[in-house]
Structure 1
């Protein structure tokens, strides 16, 4: 299969030579067509042995996809389309986005911002005023 290069991020894309494809019959309804065509696609990519990813990315991906890996191989299945070609496209795009997510840098740590003293004092003053207003509404002292 030689579709467009499936970009993971930046100039890094899925290496065509390292993708392992497997085709099988899709389950579920579909009439006679489904019994004769191998339209389900399984795409496997050996994450542990690849040199296509920068070492930092590879380390990050291996760590984050730990639960999905089988002997360092990540696999993606696609069977929602009737055509094998479209399932191939879907599987490749899915794998690329999975790797993009897994290799993304960790989010920056949030720095707590200090609330200016004046704002806090104003808030407390307004609360006090509101409380006095409400206290004044009770019927005590009228009679």
Structure 2
């Protein structure tokens, strides 16, 4: 995965941000929306594309475009940097292969400890019973 190539393939759109901000928010387009055409990307191979589309299926629309947005800052430039960083983190996370689980057996000491606890519990419960019955 070549980050620079991917960043060159991104499309940005600036729109008005929601929420408070007074007159400034009403006249400036500070929210940045990022679009990435996953299926037509030349920076990723087919295996990476399929892995990303599986992991980020909820973020990809019906046309196969991954969309993200940022409106954290009042600056369009800052929001662009933030959304690029978030996008790259999402892509890296989707491409990361999970570690395989190694099967382990319980140790002898843990088996003995479990049996002792079990015996103790059984005695406590047995002592609750009425001795006359």
Q: Decide: shared fold, TM above 0.5.
A: yes
Give distance in 1, aligned partners of 2:40 and 2:97: 21
Unaligned regions of 5+ residues in structure 1, if any? Answer: 1-10
Q: Could you say what the CA RMSD is over the residues aligned between the two structures, in angstroms?
A: 2.9
The structure that is helix-richer by fraction is: 2
Alpha-carbon deviation of 1:87?
0.6
Q: Structure 1 length as normaliser, TM-score? A: 0.72
Matched-pair contact (CA < 8 Å) for 2:37–2:65? yes
- Aligned equivalent of 1:120: 111
Task: Verify: 1:12 aligned to 2:5, yes or no.
Answer: no
Runs of 4+ more than 4 Å apart = 125-136
Unaligned regions of 5+ residues in structure 2, if any? Answer: none
Give distance in 1, aligned partners of 2:77 and 2:34: 13
Equivalent residue pairs, number: 130
Compare CA radii of gyration and give the structure with the larger one.
1
- Aligned equivalent of 2:54: 63
Q: Structure 2 length as normaliser, TM-score? A: 0.77
Query: Residue 37 of structure 1: which of 28, 34, 45 is its match?
Result: 28
Deviations 1:6-33 (A, max 9, x none): xxxxx63152331101011112221221
- Aligned equivalent of 1:5: none
- Aligned equivalent of 2:44: 53
